[in-house]
Chains A and B, each alone.
Chain A
Amino acid sequence: MSADSTPRFDDSSAAQQRFLSLFLRSEREIFRYVATLVPNVTDAEDIVQQAALALWEKFDAYDPAQPFTPWACRFALNKARQWIERRQRWQALLEHGLAEELARRRQELQPEFELRLKHLEGCLRKLPQGQRSRVEGYYYERAGIEKLAERSGRTPAATYKMLQRIRQSLQQCLESRAKPEAA
Chain B
Amino acid sequence: MTLSFPSPEFDNAVAAVCHGSATEAEMRALNALLRSDPSARDEYLIRVELHTRLASDPDLLAQPVEAVSGAGVPDFNPGDRCRIASSEPETPRRKKAQGRALVPEATIIGCQRVEGRWPEKQALEFQTVNDRVRLGVPGNFDSLTLLAWVRVKGLDRQFNSLFMCDGFEPGTIHWLIRNDGVLSLTVKGAGPRSFQIMASPPVLTLDKFGMWTHLAVVLDGKAMQLVHYMNGYSVARHKVRLGPPYRLGSAELGNWNARVGPNPTPSLIRNLGASLDEFELFSRALSDAEVLKPFTEGKPEADM
Q: Which of A17-25, A51-59, A61-69, A117-125 contacts B (4 or more CB under 8 A)?
A: A117-125
Check A105–B60 contact: CB distance below 8 A: no
**Contact residue among B27, B46, B63 (Cβ-Cβ distance under 8 Å from A136):** B63
Q: Does A102 contact B (CB under 8 A)?
A: yes
Closest to B63 in A: A136
Interface string of A151-183 (1 = CB under 8 A from B): 000000000100110011011001000000000
Q: Does B54 contact A (CB under 8 A)?
A: yes
- Shortest CB-to-CB span from B109 to chain A, Å, is 14
Check B50–A124 contact: CB distance below 8 A: no
**Contact residue among B19, B23, B54 (Cβ-Cβ distance under 8 Å from A40):** B19
**Contact residue among A36, A136, A145 (Cβ-Cβ distance under 8 Å from B19):** A145
Interface string of B271-303 (1 = CB under 8 A from A): 000000000000000000000000000000000
B residues contacting the other copy or chain, number (CB 8 A): 40
Interface string of A99-127 (1 = CB under 8 A from B): 00110011001000100110011001100
A116 partner residues in chain B, CB cutoff 8 A: 46
Q: Does A73 contact B (CB under 8 A)?
A: no
Complex Cα–Cα for A93 and B128 (A): 42
Q: Does B47 contact A (CB under 8 A)?
A: yes
Q: Which B27-56 residues sit within 8 Å CB-CB of chain A?
A: 27-28, 30-31, 34-35, 41-42, 44-56
Q: Does A147 contact B (CB under 8 A)?
A: no
Closest to A114 in B: B49
Q: Which of B10-18, B79-87, B140-148 contacts A (4 or more CB under 8 A)?
A: B10-18
- Shortest CB-to-CB span from A79 to chain B, Å, is 17
Q: Does A77 contact B (CB under 8 A)?
A: no
Complex Cα–Cα for A125 and B115 (A): 14
Q: Does A89 contact B (CB under 8 A)?
A: yes
Check B42–A109 contact: CB distance below 8 A: yes
Q: Which B106-159 residues sit within 8 Å CB-CB of chain A?
A: 112, 127-128
Q: Does B90 contact A (CB under 8 A)?
A: no
Complex Cα–Cα for A47 and B296 (A): 54
**Total A-B pairs, Cβ < 8 A:** 116
Check A31–B15 contact: CB distance below 8 A: no
Check A40–B24 contact: CB distance below 8 A: no
Q: Does B192 contact A (CB under 8 A)?
A: no
Complex Cα–Cα for A36 and B50 (A): 11
Check B127–A89 contact: CB distance below 8 A: no
B41 partner residues in chain A, CB cutoff 8 A: 101-102, 105
Complex Cα–Cα for A89 and B29 (A): 11
Check B28–A92 contact: CB distance below 8 A: yes
**Contact residue among B23, B31, B49, B61 (Cβ-Cβ distance under 8 Å from A117):** B49
Closest to A40 in B: B20
Check B50–A160 contact: CB distance below 8 A: no
Q: Does A139 contact B (CB under 8 A)?
A: yes
Residue among B24, B47, B58, B60 having the largest count of chain A Cβ atoms under 10 Å: B60
Q: Which A30-61 residues sit within 8 Å CB-CB of chain B?
A: 31-32, 35-36, 39-44
Complex Cα–Cα for A121 and B15 (A): 21
Q: Does B62 contact A (CB under 8 A)?
A: yes
Check A167–B42 contact: CB distance below 8 A: no
B23 partner residues in chain A, CB cutoff 8 A: 89
Chain B interface residues toward A at CB < 8 A: 11-12, 15, 17-20, 22-24, 27-28, 30-31, 34-35, 41-42, 44-58, 60-63, 112, 127-128
Q: A-B pairs with the 10 shortest C-beta distances?
A: A40-B20, A93-B27, A35-B52, A140-B61, A92-B28, A139-B54, A92-B27, A41-B55, A89-B24, A39-B48
Seed contacts A35-B56, A136-B61; 15 additional CB < 8 Å A-B pairs: A32-B52, A39-B17, A39-B48, A39-B52, A89-B23, A93-B30, A101-B41, A102-B45, A105-B45, A109-B46, A113-B49, A120-B54, A139-B61, A167-B15, A167-B51
